[in-house]
Structure 1
């Protein structure tokens, strides 16, 4: 666990010249250091928001205890009505679209991801560290010894020139003898790229197929200043949702209670996943 959390240490520097021997490139380090730290920080942020604040707050019949309806709706998931904008954006939007809640068949879109966001972010952060772990196992002590000589700042120029000469001589006399090492490195770099694409697809499935085009939709919305009911952040991460609670009444009949829920946690989630979307695209572009 200590090795897994090492990228979060304050003394770790992406561009440090005094680090341990490093046998990987800048793009490689962006995966297991920056991306790992980014996703882990997002995981901690969402976790803190859930436990410090109130991730969900529901309004329903006075006969239902507030904590009961909040807990039930948070666990059982909530839903929105894509055909009705009144639940999400008010009566004005509903009038503009001539849509009235309760009229016509209900097309429900359930949102049950928010409880699993911290776990998802944690697992994804670990996935970005795995190629680096594989690469560390694949490296030999000989390779680490080669890199050791030039990885530290040498004040004496003469000593540095001697180390460089030794490095050149080694590479000349052992040219072609590290093909397996190079193959392992290329394989790990390929794993980084494939993992990024995989996490993009997995996140899209996790969010109900609304993540792949999330970034461009948000940018287009912000550029053109569209109506509030067209905000993609509100569509993927709604703040106002609905929940249905059932219980048995005094006569044994099943009673239905509708609750209107405010998902304050989605104010954090929409910003996190917008950042993650753009960062994944950057990683894919650099890894091609």
Structure 2
């Protein structure tokens, strides 16, 4: 039974490098996997047996009726969703009962979505993964190339060591790698200053994608998805007739027409057991709660992003909280203030993600180097200002003297 999930092994793998935040990962990892697992469940017959099984008279072969009712629409009759009649035994199943020969189309609720459930679920999984593909292409593996090997806190005092897939750097190699990152940031080699804004754009895609998926499911289920969770919370699932019976009926009706021996039209009424809806109702009930949770997390992530845009170069406390959350190695407040004050948002965000991909001690060494560079630059600027100050003063004095001489003349 578990063999159906072997196909997920190729995409479920541990990644040591992070190029986004936790909420972003909820979209392209956890939510993506949720929709993939749901797709596998609704296409696996060994869990629930045949997706549809119809009971009719002997005029139509069983396999013909089953096939016909699956690729056409089955239906229920809303007037037979009556819990009182169900308790009395007047109805065998909710929504299934006798109907007249001239019943209006408005009195019949047709169900055709079950044919498309696996396709829609798989398409939604791709939609949740798409923003990650866009951002990964824009980021281009820069963080991995720079921080490769620095996530390991173990170093060798002599030569580097390769132990299986693990590369242990030597002390000299680590210092050399830190110098490369230092030069990358100091020389402002992040040429694409919109790097950070592409990430913000992808985060907005995630937020609006959740809303779009909710409306898509609601339209797919005939406008009943939004009320699904509220109804379950208020009434539960133990009532005789629940909203799940309306949206995901377990027993439906199906009508097959054929010509008789004399050429007259014959109508064959069938009652179909929709075993697939046992899985569908669980999937979509879970998705109702999950999408609400995901929307709230995505909204909070955007609020944090707006706050970081405002505070990244202004608040020492904000930077202390952000960087210490990822790396426990303590840094002095002077370092936070000295370094981040002179960074634009792209440089600040890049440094933030470096802190997530590096060992705490290695990042502390890097931060100390950057603080020293910033301090030296500040002193150089002060020196240049002091050097030009006497020249400016002498020039101003000479100009004032010329003006006085011109006034005397």
Same fold (TM over 0.5): yes
Secondary structure (helix, strand or coil) at the match of 1:228 reads: coil
Written as runs of structure 1 = structure 2, the 5 A alignment for 1:33-48 is: 33-48=29-44
Aligned position for 1:232: 243
Aligned position for 2:13: 12
Superposed CA deviations along residues 208-258 of structure 1, whole A, max 9, x for unmatched, are 111122122122222xx76311x1111110001000110011111111111
Aligned position for 2:152: 153
Instruction: Work out the CA distance in 1 between the residues paired with 2:142 and 2:7.
Output: 24
Aligned position for 1:16: none
Q: Does 1:122 align with 2:122?
A: yes
Instruction: Work out the CA distance in 1 between the residues paired with 2:223 and 2:12.
Output: 39
Instruction: Work out the CA distance in 1 between the residues paired with 2:66 and 2:141.
Output: 56
Deviation, structure 1 residue 20:
4.2
Q: Does 1:102 align with 2:103?
A: no
Distance 1:101 1:239, change over 3 A: same
Is this contact kept in 1: 2:211–2:295, CA < 8 A? yes
Secondary structure (helix, strand or coil) at the match of 1:124 reads: helix
Distance 1:221 1:49, change over 3 A: farther
Secondary structure (helix, strand or coil) at the match of 1:252 reads: coil
Deviation, structure 1 residue 180:
0.6
Aligned position for 2:404: none
Instruction: Work out the CA distance in 2 between the residues paired with 1:145 and 1:261.
Output: 58
Aligned position for 2:81: 85
Superposed CA deviations along residues 181-217 of structure 1, whole A, max 9, x for unmatched, are 0010001111111111111111111111111221221
Q: Does 1:200 align with 2:214?
A: yes
> Which moves more between the two structures, 176-185 or 273-282?
176-185
Instruction: Work out the CA distance in 2 between the residues paired with 1:140 and 1:102.
Output: 63
Is this contact kept in 2: 1:23–1:147, CA < 8 A? no
Structure with the larger RCO, 1 or 2 (CA within 8 Å, 6+ apart): 1
Secondary structure (helix, strand or coil) at the match of 1:227 reads: coil
Written as runs of structure 1 = structure 2, the 5 A alignment for 1:123-272 is: 123-148=123-148, 150=150, 152-156=151-155, 171=185, 174=188, 179-222=193-236, 227-229=239-241, 231-272=242-283
Point out the structure with max Rg over C-alpha.
2
Instruction: Work out the CA distance in 1 between the residues paired with 2:182 and 2:231.
Output: 51
Aligned position for 2:26: 30
Is this contact kept in 1: 2:48–2:276, CA < 8 A? no
Instruction: Work out the CA distance in 1 between the residues paired with 2:125 and 2:232.
Output: 24
Write 1 or 2 for the structure with the bigger share of helix.
Answer: 2
Superposed CA deviations along residues 27-68 of structure 1, whole A, max 9, x for unmatched, are 111111111111111101110138972111111111211101
Is this contact kept in 1: 2:24–2:203, CA < 8 A? yes
* Residue in structure 2 matching 1:76, options 60, 67, 72: 72
> Which moves more between the two structures, 175-184 or 160-169?
160-169
Is this contact kept in 2: 1:85–1:94, CA < 8 A? no
Superposed CA deviations along residues 90-123 of structure 1, whole A, max 9, x for unmatched, are 463768xxx9743694511110011111111111
Instruction: Work out the CA distance in 1 between the residues paired with 2:218 and 2:60.
Output: 36
Distance 1:78 1:188, change over 3 A: same
> Which moves more between the two structures, 212-221 or 240-249?
212-221
- In the alignment, structure 1 segments of 5+ residues that lack a partner are 14-18
- In the alignment, structure 2 segments of 5+ residues that lack a partner are 1-5, 158-170, 300-409
Distance 1:11 1:66, change over 3 A: closer
